[in-house]
Structure 1
Amino acid sequence: MAGFNDNTGKGDLSKVTKQVWRENCFPEWGTWLNEEIEDTVVPENNFAMWWLGCTGIWVKTPASANICIDLWLGTGKRGKRAWDFPYSQGKDFQMYYMNGGPTYQPNTRTVPMVIDPFEIKEIDAVLSTHMHRDHIDQYVAAAIVQNFGDIPFIGPKFCCNIWRSWGVPEDRLKEVKPGDVIKIKDMEIIAVESFDRTALITAPLQSPDMKGVCPTDMNERAVSYIIKTPGGTLYHSGDSHFANMYFKHGRDYDIDVALASFGENPAGLTDKMTSADCLRMAECLNANVLIPYHYDIWCNMLADPSEIEYLYQFKAPRLDYKFHVYIWQVGGCYMYPRDKDKKRFMFNRGFHDAFTDVPNLPFESFL
């Protein structure tokens, strides 16, 4: 049915099935972003990153080091009457563990899938910060295992247990803990402490392979990543809450861009950082740019990042913040330091290049 949507009136509706619709429309962006990432040549002394939804980030360097962190291409609830796996575990569901509230949560995915994992052509590593389902993905794992013979999967012990249970070969698993360093081309990845306290209380009792008890040490459940590149240093906090230890990380590392897990917490939950927490995080890290993420993905925690901007405007004159806030869009590219002074993202509107063929239209005939 390729070309059916050409608005010419041609086609046979009897041949348009649910499967045809799926193949024509999902993922919603097709290979557009795959191609953009492949085609982007990162200038010297810069690094580029794309927001893939939730805390999913793709990072690319001048030497074409390509990594994805927390890329998740699954869904939340897909049916109201029938509880859908994997977000319908009743009292095993993490929201129940967190506040004892209703086991049925209206958590549907609210942003499109902007990248096709099976059309990835260049990648050097798959990273995960922790074991929650919106941060580690079986579709991504399957695509990379099937299409690449030696790309490593990097994460804490619990993540490696999950990948192993899915069939990722043992020699491709790279277990990390805070302090571990991995070098890829012109990129250096440093695992540091995570402050995702939710990860301590929401894991199942059994390990994924059902052969042992899940790790109970935070360092085995979750890490954050510091990504050093020729253009600057990125701090990927995963799902971390606010912690005073950000101050130590800010003194131990020269952080340029900090990604903060922001969201509208339901009553009884402290699952995401508040706007005030995000500002405190950036100040403690001594960062140059604060970028919130994760607020986009779940309908029951959907937040407005303008709140961070407003609070920043209130506090900055008094507190003399070194950093500024940048509000991104899923699917968008941010390049540092090229974009370091920008405050908000806007997609290319298609009018930046010089017009070569201006139609002879009566633009002002209605005046």
Structure 2
Amino acid sequence: MTSSDWGDWLPRAVSEADPDTVALWYLGCNGFAIKGRDGTVLWIDPYVGTGDPPRTIRMVPIPFDPEDVDSADAVLATHEHVDHVHGPSQAPILANTGAEFVAPDDSLSVAREDERWTEKWDVADEQFLEVAEGDELRIGEFTVHVVEVHDTDATHPVGYVIDHPDGTMFHAGDSKPSSTFESLADEYDIDLGILAFGSVGTVPDKETGEPVRTKWYSDENEIVSAASALELDRLVPTHWDMWKGLTADPTALHDHAQSFEYPSRLSIVEIGDRIDL
């Protein structure tokens, strides 16, 4: 594990914040810390690893050390990939705070079997909570709905619609446009949607090392299509900053979105930024 480039200011910012509604801090990649006005804190897909150079190379700072996190009620994972389920990034948060690790089955298999969190960190098996599409759970002031998404690169991805008295958020993981999104728009009035965005690039093959054309995230047209189907008031693109060769320019989305009714607003955040509902 590489030490934080920024010391402990980001975990302290989350811990000490007293938002009027709900505050979100972008952690880079697809990670967020979310804190409600009553003090409930959720971490979604926090990742402070450096990737697997030379195949995947981290392009943004490591903004915090998970050992410095002292405020967490739950850590949520959207799917089993290493930048979404990663013991060195997430298990210390569970050990420090007693938070639950909320995740679908294949993500929990990584934590329990592949990385053996309960053996390597002070994490109890009772902290693992398996969820699946259609589940609803209450975490402090938040109601979390587990929903179906579309990510063919993952074995069992899910998304999270997070309801709060002051607004509704949707974290889609690495989903591309999904046939379920229009029905989600019918069921939920989503104020802020978090969708992965990136370019098509070449990434070395795991076995041969040869460059392979790779598309892991939605392109400009796909992310706006997804945001439109979800009828998002506010789109927050993520993941565009993370991997060498797959980075993208989120400001280009202004041109792609301007003729559509949704998203009503595009919010571009950089690692460490705070936004509020």
Q: What is the distance in 2 between the residues matched to 1:194 and 1:312?
A: 21
Report the secondary structure of 2:143's partner residue.
Answer: strand
Is residue 287 from structure 1 mapped to residue 232 from structure 2 by the alignment?
yes
Contact 2:176 2:226 in 1 (8 A): no
Please, what TM-score do these two structures have when normalized by structure 2?
0.89
Residue 64 of structure 1 pairs with residue 39 of structure 2: yes
Who is 1:146 aligned against?
95
Aligned equivalents of 1:335 and 1:50: distance in 2?
A: 9
State which of 126, 129, 139 in structure 2 corresponds to 1:184.
Answer: 139
Residue 32 (structure 1) aligned with residue 9 (structure 2): yes
Check the 8 A contact 1:66/1:122 in 2, yes or no. yes
| Structure 2 residue 206 is matched with structure 1 residue 265 | no
Q: Give 1:324 shift.
A: 1.6
> Structure 2 matches for 1:13-28, cutoff 5 A?
26-28=3-5
- Please give the root-mean-square deviation of Cα atoms over the aligned residues, in Å: 1.6
Distance in 1 (CA, whole Å) between partners of 2:253 and 2:175 is 17
* CA distance in 2: counterparts of 1:120 and 1:58, whole angstroms: 11
Q: Is the 8 A contact 2:235 2:263 kept in 1?
A: no
Among all aligned residue pairs of Structure 1 and Structure 2, give the percentage whose two residues are the same amino acid. 29
| CA shift for structure 1 position 186 | 1.0
Q: Which runs of 5+ in 2 are unaligned?
A: 203-212
Are the aligned partners of 2:192 and 2:235 in contact in 1 as well (CA < 8 Å)?
yes
Find the counterpart in structure 2 of residue 210 from structure 1. none
Distance 1:72 1:63 in 2: 25
Is 1:122–2:122 an aligned residue pair? no
Determine which of 249, 272, 277 is the counterpart of 2:222.
Answer: 277
CA distance in 2, matches of 1:59, 1:118: 18
Paired residue for 1:233? 168
Indicate the residue corresponding to 1:171 in structure 2: 126
Q: 1:47, 1:230 within 8 Å by CA — same for their partners in 2?
A: no
SS at match of 2:51: coil
Asked if the contact 2:195/2:237 (under 8 Å) is kept, the reply is yes
Shift of 1:131: 0.4
Equivalent pair of 1:305/1:327 in contact (CA under 8 Å)? yes
More strand by share: 2
CA distances 1:320-340 after superposition (whole Å, capped 9, x unpaired): 44612111111000001xxxx
Cα 1:270/1:142, change in 2 over 3 Å: closer
Q: How many residues end up aligned between the 2 structures? A: 259
Alpha-carbon deviation of 1:266? 2.4
Q: Secondary structure at the match of 1:50?
A: strand
Q: Cα deviations across residues 23-51 of structure 1 (Å, max 9, x unaligned)? A: xxx301110111111111011xx211000
Please state how far the C-alpha of 1:123 moved relative to its aligned partner.
Answer: 0.7
Q: Which among 168, 173, 179 is matched to residue 244 of structure 1?
A: 179
